[in-house]
Amino acid sequence: MMAHLYVVESADFLFLMKQTGLTFGNLSSHMTRLEEAGYIRVDKEFKDKKPNTRLSLTDAGREAFEDYKDNMKQLFEEL
């Protein structure tokens, strides 16, 4: 989910569910943990009387993902 959010300003919950292949419950669980860690922001609103949840990376989340990306790059270079 972090990789998907890294390349966009924000994404809605159903889009991320389709892109990641996660179930509603699994994505919701990931979302909760990432929000508690301060890595994502969750905005809930109604569109045409239907609930809409949008997720976006916080600055801390963006930095954490960049660190992860750098660590993975270094790991593969050392192989």
Nearest to 39 by CA among 67, 70, 77: 67
29: domain CATH number is 1.10.10.10
Tokens at residue 36, please?
Answer: 């508690």
Q: What is the pLDDT of residues 33-56, one digit of tens each?
A: 999 999 999 999 998 999 999 999
Domain with 40 in it = 2-78
Question: Domain count of the chain?
Answer: 1
pTM of this prediction? 0.86
pLDDT of residue 60: 98
In sequence order, the 6+-apart residues with CB closer than 8 A to the CB of 20 are: 1, 4, 27
